[in-house]
Amino acid sequence: MSHESVEIVPSILSADFGRLAAEVEAVRAAGIHKIQVDVMDGRFVPNISVGLPVVEALARDGGVALDVHLMIEEPGRWVDAFVGAGATVVTVHAEAERHLQRTLGRVRELGALAGAALNPGSPACMLEEVLADVDVVLVMTVNPGFGGQRFLPSTLAKVHRLRTWVHERGLTAAIQVDGGIGPGTARLAVEAGATQLVAGSAVFAGGVAVGDAIAALRAEVAAARPWSATGG
């Protein structure tokens, strides 16, 4: 995969919700076509964020695809509602979903892309049996629940392992990383095998214009060494 194919996915968790429409428009103006919406329930993670009304409002505005990351207990109960609200990608956590393969299949039946996520302390093998059932593999590079956390380098080996399994099996799942991504860590994630970079604070809370922040991330990606199955 070329560096041009590495996708930057801004997370609105760090956006100014009083100016959310303007923040999304700034992202769109920078040539970004997808944003991530982090949904938290205060149970699976120690925080509460947004829900269906925000997804519905963003879908009405249009112009960007909505990658909805469900950091909630029993996510399978909610995939129908979030796809109905306008999600184009729905990612559920392996740790939270007892019947993971069935839930991923349901997301696809509804016409959305299916994602499966792992927390930093969860091993890659939790997803090994469902790699053919996912469109996105999400590796959390911080413990989920709050934006602005420091990137955990220990997660890079897991990123590489999952990318290698996808490559060796001829699958097409994207390898997405989320947490602490910015200048200095985006390159490391890409070299480990990430094909999608979720960035929140680096895009919306870094004290620079959104377009400049995205340009800095793209420059970091361009400077990365190409991924290799024998590297890591």
Q: Note the pLDDT of residue 144.
A: 84
**Catalytic: 80?**
no
pLDDT band at 28 (very low <50, low <70, confident <90, very high): very high
**Catalytic: 67?**
no
- For residue 139, what is the DSSP state? E
Task: Provide the edge-to-edge strand list for the sheet that holds 89-93.
Answer: 7-10, 196-199, 174-178, 136-140, 113-118, 89-93, 65-71, 34-40
Select which of 41, 67, 133, 178 is catalytic. Answer: 178
Q: Note the pLDDT of residue 63.
A: 86
pLDDT band at 4 (very low <50, low <70, confident <90, very high): low
pLDDT band at 205 (very low <50, low <70, confident <90, very high): confident
Select which of 38, 41, 67, 133 is catalytic. Answer: 38
8 Å CB contact between 62 and 73: no
Please check the confidence at residue 147 and state whether its pLDDT lies above 90: no
- Write down the mean pLDDT value for the chain: 94
Q: Provide the whole-model pTM.
A: 0.94
Mean local confidence (pLDDT), 120-138: 97
Tell me the domains of the chain and their CATH numbers: 3-222 (3.20.20.70)
Mean local confidence (pLDDT), 98-119: 98
pLDDT in tens, 66-106: 999 999 999 999 999 999 999 999 999 999 999 999 999 99
